[in-house]
Structure 1
């Protein structure tokens, strides 16, 4: 049976998601931030005959994330998605979301596969005396300006508003280094919740590369988040970046697939 999840289901839902807190970072974070009765967010659960939760589907605006530990009613979830759109933004653990590729009636966008890694220890983190700062709302425009110069980044009209929202809701933070008022490197978190946080936006000013600045900022950010007893997570598809992250203590825990 699939039904819409309500606040009364919260404890059961969180216990179900807790087995893989990193993989479920977005679902956990959105539940904590926006609950079960939002105009732009909704959740559904599949239950067994004995009342055990089998699978969860999150709708956040036009994006959907399914999660299950074993077999689930993919056709039931598909009908829910199709009731809103036939061209969803779909993402999740690779072996779950890739099952939707064979479903008729869904038009999935460009497929992007990434590695999913997490860090639970600071044993491999170095220390630096460089003056790393935590960004405030006054720094938002400089952060967006730096990100806009990075070829691999996609900065949209909503990027600034999303960065402001993450700071105001404390679901994200950015640390940076600067020189003469110009940002030289920065790294951010997003989707922060009570148990985990996602690393994003690690970048270096093109005029200050090959100095280890972004790694230095990332180490400070990682250290501070771990101190709060949260797990750090990140996506990567660049093997060179993966090697840097692994030297800092990140370990691959699976693959994440997105259709955009």
Structure 2
């Protein structure tokens, strides 16, 4: 049976999602921030005959994230998605969301698959003598300007607003390092919640690469987040970047697929 999830279901939902806090970072964070029934956010759950929660589907605006640990009603969730959006953005653990490719009538966008990795402790982090600073609202423009110089990045037109909101709400933080007075490297978290945080926006100005600056920033950022008892997670599709993250203690835990 599939039904809308309510605040009364919160304990069961939290226990269900928290077994994989990294994979469920977005769902957990959105529930903590916006609850179970707003104009732009809704959640559904599939329950077994003995009332055990089997699967969850999140709608956040036009984006949908399903999660399950076993076989689930793909057609049932797809019916909800089709009813609410003609061109949904669908994302999630690859083994889960790729099942929707076989559903007739659902309009999925371009498929993008990345590696998904997590870090639960800082024993491989090491330390750096570099002077790392934590960003405030006054640093937003400089951070976005640096990101815009990175060829591999696509900087959203709302990037400044989103970064500012993350800093103001505590759902994200950014650390940076200056070199000769200019912003040289930075790294951020996003979608932070009580149990996990996503690493995003790791970059170094092209004039300051191969100096270990981004690694130094990540070491400080990772240490601070881990000391709060949170799990770090990130996406990557660049093998060279993957090797750097693994040296810092990240381990692959699966693949993440997005259709948009």
Tell me how far apart the structure 1 counterparts of residues 2 and 147 of structure 2 sit (CA, whole Å): 41
Question: TM-score normalised to the size of structure 1?
Answer: 0.98
* Structure 1 unaligned regions, length at least 5: none
Tell me how far apart the structure 1 counterparts of residues 179 and 252 of structure 2 sit (CA, whole Å): 34
Tell me how far apart the structure 2 counterparts of residues 144 and 178 of structure 1 sit (CA, whole Å): 15
Partner of 2:203: 203
Tell me how far apart the structure 2 counterparts of residues 168 and 61 of structure 1 sit (CA, whole Å): 21
Partner of 1:232: 232
Instruction: Describe the superposition over 1:148-184 as per-residue Cα deviations: whole angstroms up to 9, x where unpaired.
Output: 1111111121111111111111010000001344210
Is 1:86 matched up with 2:86? yes
Partner of 2:49: 49
Is 1:148 matched up with 2:155? no
Partner of 1:223: 223
Tell me how far apart the structure 2 counterparts of residues 136 and 257 of structure 1 sit (CA, whole Å): 32
Instruction: Describe the superposition over 1:211-246 as per-residue Cα deviations: whole angstroms up to 9, x where unpaired.
Output: 010111011100000000100000111111111100
Tell me how far apart the structure 2 counterparts of residues 242 and 138 of structure 1 sit (CA, whole Å): 31
Tell me how far apart the structure 2 counterparts of residues 39 and 71 of structure 1 sit (CA, whole Å): 30
Instruction: Describe the superposition over 1:46-86 as per-residue Cα deviations: whole angstroms up to 9, x where unpaired.
Output: 11111110100000111000000011111111111111112
Greater Cα offset, 116-125 or 174-183: 174-183
Partner of 1:186: 186
Aligned CA-pair RMSD = 0.9
* Structure 2 unaligned regions, length at least 5: none
Q: Residue 84 of structure 2 aligns to a residue in which SS?
A: coil
Tell me how far apart the structure 1 counterparts of residues 60 and 151 of structure 2 sit (CA, whole Å): 28
Aligned structure 1 segments of 4 or more residues deviating by more than 4 angstroms: none
Aligned pairs, number: 260
Q: Residue 107 of structure 1 aligns to a residue in which SS?
A: coil
User: What is the CA distance between 1:29 and its match in structure 2?
Assistant: 0.6
Q: Where does 1:16-95 land on structure 2 (aligned, <5 Å)?
A: 16-95=16-95
Q: Residue 30 of structure 2 aligns to a residue in which SS?
A: helix
Q: Residue 83 of structure 1 aligns to a residue in which SS?
A: helix
Q: Residue 188 of structure 1 aligns to a residue in which SS?
A: strand
1:86 and 1:105 in contact (8 A); partners too: no
2:37 and 2:43 in contact (8 A); partners too: no
Greater Cα offset, 81-90 or 131-140: 81-90
